[in-house]
Every structure is written in structure tokens, then in C-alpha cells.
Amino acid sequence: MFHKAIILSLGVLALTGCDAQKKVKTDTKTPVKISQTDMTNPTQSQNEIIYFNEGENKFLEKYKMNVTFKGISEDSRCPEGVNCIWAGVAVAQVEVMGIATRPMILNLASMDFPAKNYHQSAGFNGLQFTLQEVTPYPKSEGTKALAGKYKIGITIGKAEAPSSTTK
């Protein structure tokens, strides 16, 4: 009898998680308006989204650095029209290089999940790079068809100073 109660409880929790995922999923389908200036003007204000096509390289004069969207190393996001237990994550590889620094690859995830080492933001040269969006969203056919077609939006801002806490 005790085993049946546990199994029933796990079933209810799984269904509750699916319902929560559907709510999150519908929020990601909100259309995003991309103006032509967002796509062509790399010198934007601090919190504006800068868009990159897969493989695209831009020199950002404002930050005196070169930024390249190398590609998506992982896309485990739940495809449209499929019920999943976990919403999944997309990890973009962004290469950054200042005029006096060596290049560095930042792995920016579509959501923070420190237990799996997924971070939406990463620091470089006193700046913080944050992944804001990854498109297109996977379909039920899988993510292999999306190779080379990805587009990301990142924001760049001043890196926050690490907080010092003592115990």
C-alpha cells in the first residue's frame, strides 16, 4: 500500500511539472521584434541586445573587442509540441577577444542551472556577457536541422564586483 502511495505522488508531481513547463513554453513563443538597427549597429547602449547569426563576427568599437558567435554546443530544449520533464537548455559558444587580450570562449546557457554548470552570464575583461535569447526553437524533428541557422541575442554590461562574505 505504501508503494502505491509513493508511485501516485510521483505521478502527480510529474504531471504538475509538465503543466508548469507548458506555461513557461508559451512565454518563450512571444514574438520578438528585431529592428534593422539591432542587426547592423554593434555599438549600442549598455543594456540593448546585440544579435549574432551563427558564425558571425563583430568588432564592437564601444568595448574595443571582437565577438564571434561560434555556434551552439548543446540544445536540449524541449521541442515544440512535445511534453518533456525538463524544459532543457541551449548553450552558445561565444568567443571574445579584447585588443590586448587573447581570445576566450564563453559558454552561455539559455538559463542558469549551477548544478549542471549552466550559466546565463560570464565575465571577461571587466564586462559581463549575458545570453538573452536563442532562436529558432527546436521542432519535433530534432536539432540537427537547425545547425548553422541559430541566432543569439546577448547583452554586455559592466561586471558586478564579487561580494565578499565572511563567516
User: Using 50, 70 and 90 to split pLDDT, how confident is the model at 144?
Assistant: low
The Cβ of residue 15 has, within 10 Å, a number of other Cβ atoms equal to 11
CATH number of 32-158: 2.60.98
Q: Where are the domains of the chain?
A: 1-30, 32-158
Return the beta strands (E) in 16-101 as ranges.
Answer: 50-53, 57-60, 65-75, 90-98
Decide: pTM greater than 0.85. Answer: no
Q: What is the pLDDT of residue 40?
A: 42
Q: How far apart are alpha carbons 62 and 72 in whole angstroms?
A: 26
Q: Give Rg (Cα) of the chain.
A: 19
Average pLDDT over residues 71-76: 89
